[in-house]
Structure 1
Amino acid sequence: MEENTETSDFLAACDSCGTVFAATITADDRVLPIGARDGCRCGGTSFSRIDEEDFEDPSDTA
């Protein structure tokens, strides 16, 4: 059995309430929160990947 060494962990937010989770992508391209396999505490089961560009650079203040 070949081990996949490519990492696919990232941040994702619950589409219902915005709670952020560490997440991974499944073989069928679903976003799955790590440690919350049954979904978010709010009941949400849909998650969206958070892009690095969504974060502000704290050193970039005016």
Structure 2
Amino acid sequence: MLEKVKTELELEKVKLIRMTKKLKADLQIVKQDLQMTTETKKTLEQEKMNLNSKTDHLIGNLQ
């Protein structure tokens, strides 16, 4: 009886270790995606500012 419980606990331990490793890997992927998203957002904001500046310049030239 005790041996059976011990075996079940060992199997559960292995499953939990495997799950923990997968979750850590998934977390790393999410962090990388977040960093890429943040960098892309900064780039897009910069492009938006540049386009707004060009638009203002063109409007000024038309007036």
Instruction: Sort the TM-score into its range (normalised by shorter chain).
Output: under 0.3
TM-score under structure 1 length normalisation? 0.20
| Greater RCO, 1 or 2 (C-alpha within 8 Å, sep 6+) | 1
Structure 1 or 2: larger helix share? 2
Name the larger-Rg structure.
Answer: 2
TM-score under structure 2 length normalisation? 0.20
